[in-house]
Structure 1
Amino acid sequence: MIRIKKKALTVFALATSIVASSIATLPAFAQGGDLTVNWTREEASKIELNQDNTLPYTDISKLEKFAPGYHVWDTWPLTDRDGNIASIKGWKVIFALTAPNDVLPGKVHDIATIRYFYSKNGKDWTLGGELFPHGSALGQRQWAGSAMLDGDKIHAFYTATGREGQAQLTYEQRIATAEAKVVADKNGVHFENWGAHHIILEPDGKYYQTKEQAQQGEGGGYAFRDPMWFKDPQTGKEYLLFEGNSGGAVGERQFKPEYAGSTEYLQQHPVPAGAVHANGNIGIAEVINGDVTNLKMLPPLIEANYVNEELERPHIVVKDKKYYLFTDSHINKYAEGLQGPDALYGFVSDTLIGGYQPLNGSGLVLANPLENPYQAYSWLVTPSLNVVGFAHFGDLGNLSIGDVGNQSPEYQFSHFGGTLAPTVQLSIRDNTTKLEKTLPQGWIK
């Protein structure tokens, strides 16, 4: 099991002993009857690496550079409106965050640009160029999103990070969209006639924390990003999923026993006071009447209050009429008193909203090996259960990822992947998953 050093714990008084024992057996819904499910401390405490969830060691120094001249990280495919991998005259298209490869790895998010690639076989990709005409997108830079093909149009969703026009780098996050015409021929794919860019979602402060709320008090994260298109095959309704944090400032946040789990677990594992800073959630908004610029904010699907600070790039795969909700998180995003690896995590439900239970009992689906704990990240599961990620930092020895920025530029570049990792094939059976095999880099069937 992965081990992370933690400082001494300050605990809450066990006033929680008054909680009815029924909490141990009933689904853990958030207040207000909105069917938001808690990923509990009890569930996360069961995280353990084994042969079914641990990626094989990858020597990232031997991986082929996906786009010579560029670092490449968060990646997503073009899908059709139903969520299937789209084909345009036989071409598949993927998008990725990129930066010139002479930029230090720790600075790439400051200048991230979305570029696209196309391929006939889903394995050999050609760089098409920047997705948006230079300077047209909102924000100081663009972070991850998704893209949906609608006839001969593309709807691109992305995170507009920082405010355009500001001289100082800022980290406000809003969700934006724009559409263009898709043109494909024997030579490849390109986009033309881009329309206006629109901000379509901003945090409301109730369900989703604003930047101003996040800046009140000490510690904690801030996220409102990673829009992912989803159409519910059972109802035909359309949505965007996104990463957020539970609303309110740290000083306003109160512990609820359902964040921990069963009464018995809470009695045996008092919750550290510092865990209050973890408030990651997975948000959802409904598309109204098919208009992708008109969305209704809904309560979160999952909250990880007192458990985890950051549930990145959420997305859903429907299999055997079950909803499999996946997300990514880091070692250093767990609440005080808990530990887990850089990994892909997942939950399963019979319905889109409500009822989610962690896959494999803990939520852990795929993790980096202990001997190379940062080798890959930002995994995305396709409808065919290919899992695509990028090569992050390899062979750091005893260094944590937070130590890398203190090393020489030569060290940072030599240990950074900045390219796609080998794709892996996942299998799912009810509420369990298994790593089946490793496939070529960036392979999307």
Structure 2
Amino acid sequence: MNAPTLWTRAHLDALAARSCPTAPVIAAGEVVPVAAGIGVWDAWPVQTLDGAIHRTKDGFELWLALATPLFDDPDQRHDHARIHLFRRRGDEWQHAGPAMPDGFSPGSREWSGSAVIDAAGREVTLFFTAAGRRGEAATSFEQRLFAAEVSLIDDDGAPVLTGWRDLREVVERDPAFYMQTIDPAGTIGKIKGFRDPAFFRDPADGAAYLLFTGSDATARSDYNGVIGIARAKGAAWQILPPIITANHVNNELERPHVIHHAGLYYLFWVTQRHVFDPEGPTGPTGLYGMVSDDLFGNWQPLNGSGLVFANPDQAPAQAYSWFVFPDLSVTSFVDNWGGGDGRRFGGTFAPFLHLHLEGPRASLREGAMTRDVMTGNAMTGSVGR
């Protein structure tokens, strides 16, 4: 197995030589709650084994997203996060409440993951991050990777997930490669990672993998983010060494995921300006990625630097948690939108974007942003793609 590919300061130096590609500004009319009284952020749909968004015979998509009630301080949401279920059909969104029943998850909170449905379209596997431990006296940043099974059934014309079962820890941390995450003094942006499992089936041989956010146990720098990987081995998962490391560059390579496009592997992750090493060149908050003809080596940063696109200068934190699908559409959520002074947390789905990929070059397609046109009552809305 190859050594991890390095994402280096030299790659980031390429950003200084050219203007950064940026997403369009999100307008006020596009920041419309997807459900009454809650804010949502990291989101993912139920996907088929090849990564496409699954649609039921009645045209529904099922989406999962981290959600909480709205807080005066939006950062408090991380201490209360649960995975909620949403249905989408055409222009309508429906909020179905928490995905898993109370007391089922082993964590004090639930953080990001992914979900995949079997070939028959009946059984869903949810991979997710259990943050902390249920019943802990003080909120911790411990992170563990879990999976659970659930059945997809039709309930009076609407798809529902029912019969949650087989909860299990699927990937256990290998201390030779990945740091532990128990740090009572940690703060958001500085904590270490073992989270964000994302499913990928390699079309070359049908092998299944989980990508995840980690921290390098061998690093001397506090800025030691890595992208980890595990391979399915029968009913178990075998943890492997990281495939990307950002030592001395960046602390968090979040929500890593892979798509296969035009015969190449494209690996994407998201990160924020404030988690770059301040002693080196820093990049903007944005979507980053690499390309390779081999899942385990020869990764080359897209556009020379790794940056696919950033938030616009006038709203440098307007969106986050971008996730790319095989059709090259990109979802995200509205974060601190509008620029200017103060914090305006959108807490809803952002307009979809669309990429163009050609070898090591990545760009936003012309007219890449599809506007949200939310309609209906407080529990429904619409978004085009």
Give your verdict on TM over 0.5.
yes
In the TM superposition, what whole-angstrom CA distance separates every residue of 1:332-386 from its partner, at most 9, and x where no partner exists? 1111222111100010000111110000000000100111101010000111111
Partners of 1:425 and 1:51 lie apart in 2 by 20
Partners of 2:145 and 2:251 lie apart in 1 by 20
Shift of 1:77: 1.1
Provide closer, same or farther for how the CA distance between residues 307 and 69 of structure 1 changes in structure 2, counting only shifts above 3 A. same
Quote the residue 1:357 is aligned against: 300
In the TM superposition, what whole-angstrom CA distance separates every residue of 1:374-409 from its partner, at most 9, and x where no partner exists? 101000011111111111002343x6xxxxxxxxxx
Alignment match of 1:45 (pick from 13, 16, 20): 13
Quote the residue 1:440 is aligned against: 371
Partners of 2:106 and 2:295 lie apart in 1 by 31
8 Å CA contact retained: 1:61, 1:417: no
How many positions carry a matched residue from both structures? 368
Partners of 1:332 and 1:196 lie apart in 2 by 38
Shift of 1:443: 4.8
Which residue identity lines up with residue 323 of structure 1 in the other structure? Y
Which residue identity lines up with residue 247 of structure 1 in the other structure? A
Quote the residue 1:328 is aligned against: 270
Alignment match of 1:431 (pick from 338, 360, 363): 360
8 Å CA contact retained: 2:30, 2:350: no
Shift of 1:220: 5.3
Structure 2 unmatched ranges of 5 or more: 373-381
8 Å CA contact retained: 1:88, 1:184: no
8 Å CA contact retained: 1:157, 1:178: yes
Which residue identity lines up with residue 112 of structure 2 in the other structure? A
8 Å CA contact retained: 1:221, 1:278: no
Alignment match of 1:165 (pick from 135, 154, 158): 135
Partners of 1:49 and 1:165 lie apart in 2 by 51
Partners of 1:142 and 1:227 lie apart in 2 by 12
Quote the residue 2:232 is aligned against: 287
Q: Secondary structure at the match of 1:84?
A: coil
Q: Which moved more, 1:364-373 or 1:97-106?
A: 97-106
Quote the residue 1:110 is aligned against: 79
Which residue identity lines up with residue 76 of structure 2 in the other structure? K
Quote the residue 1:257 is aligned against: none
8 Å CA contact retained: 2:214, 2:228: yes
In the TM superposition, what whole-angstrom CA distance separates every residue of 1:282-302 from its partner, at most 9, and x where no partner exists? 01000112x2xx100011110
Quote the residue 2:375 is aligned against: none
Structure 1 unmatched ranges of 5 or more: 1-32, 255-275, 400-410
Under a length normalisation based on structure 2, what TM-score does the superposition of the two structures give?
0.90
Structure with more of its chain in strand, by fraction = 2
Under a length normalisation based on structure 1, what TM-score does the superposition of the two structures give?
0.78
**Runs (4+) of structure 1 moved beyond 4 Å?**
48-52, 212-216, 442-445
Alignment match of 1:130 (pick from 98, 101, 115): 98
Q: Secondary structure at the match of 2:369?
A: strand
Instruction: Please tell me whether residue 175 in structure 1 is matched to residue 175 in structure 2.
Output: no
Q: Secondary structure at the match of 2:75?
A: helix
In the TM superposition, what whole-angstrom CA distance separates every residue of 1:135-188 from its partner, at most 9, and x where no partner exists? 211100100000010131110010000011212111100000100111125631
Pairs within 5 Å for 1:308-347: 308-335=250-277, 336-347=279-290
Instruction: Please tell me whether residue 378 in structure 1 is matched to residue 378 in structure 2.
Output: no
In the TM superposition, what whole-angstrom CA distance separates every residue of 1:212-262 from its partner, at most 9, and x where no partner exists? 59979xx954011000000000111001110001114xxxx45xxxxxxxx
Provide closer, same or farther for how the CA distance between residues 423 and 134 of structure 1 changes in structure 2, counting only shifts above 3 A. same
Partners of 1:55 and 1:173 lie apart in 2 by 31
8 Å CA contact retained: 2:126, 2:149: yes
Quote the residue 2:52 is aligned against: 84
Instruction: Please tell me whether residue 155 in structure 1 is matched to residue 121 in structure 2.
Output: no
8 Å CA contact retained: 2:147, 2:167: yes
8 Å CA contact retained: 2:13, 2:281: yes
Alignment match of 1:64 (pick from 4, 8, 32): 32
Q: Which has the larger radius of gyration?
A: 1
Instruction: Please tell me whether residue 201 in structure 1 is matched to residue 171 in structure 2.
Output: yes
Which residue identity lines up with residue 23 of structure 2 in the other structure? L
Instruction: Name the Cα RMSD after superposition.
Output: 2.2
Partners of 1:203 and 1:61 lie apart in 2 by 44
8 Å CA contact retained: 1:55, 1:368: yes
Partners of 2:77 and 2:210 lie apart in 1 by 26
Shift of 1:61: 6.8
Alignment match of 2:350 (pick from 417, 421, 443): 421
In the TM superposition, what whole-angstrom CA distance separates every residue of 1:177-221 from its partner, at most 9, and x where no partner exists? 1001111256311111111311112322211111259979xx954
Pairs within 5 Å for 1:18-29: none
Which residue identity lines up with residue 298 of structure 1 in the other structure? L
Q: Secondary structure at the match of 2:164?
A: coil
Provide closer, same or farther for how the CA distance between residues 320 and 347 of structure 1 changes in structure 2, counting only shifts above 3 A. same
8 Å CA contact retained: 2:26, 2:338: no
Quote the residue 1:9 is aligned against: none
Partners of 2:166 and 2:259 lie apart in 1 by 30
8 Å CA contact retained: 1:214, 1:220: no
In the TM superposition, what whole-angstrom CA distance separates every residue of 1:80-109 from its partner, at most 9, and x where no partner exists? 122221122222111100001245311001
Partners of 1:66 and 1:212 lie apart in 2 by 34
Shift of 1:35: 3.0
Instruction: Please tell me whether residue 306 in structure 1 is matched to residue 248 in structure 2.
Output: yes
Q: Secondary structure at the match of 2:371?
A: strand
Provide closer, same or farther for how the CA distance between residues 322 and 383 of structure 1 changes in structure 2, counting only shifts above 3 A. same
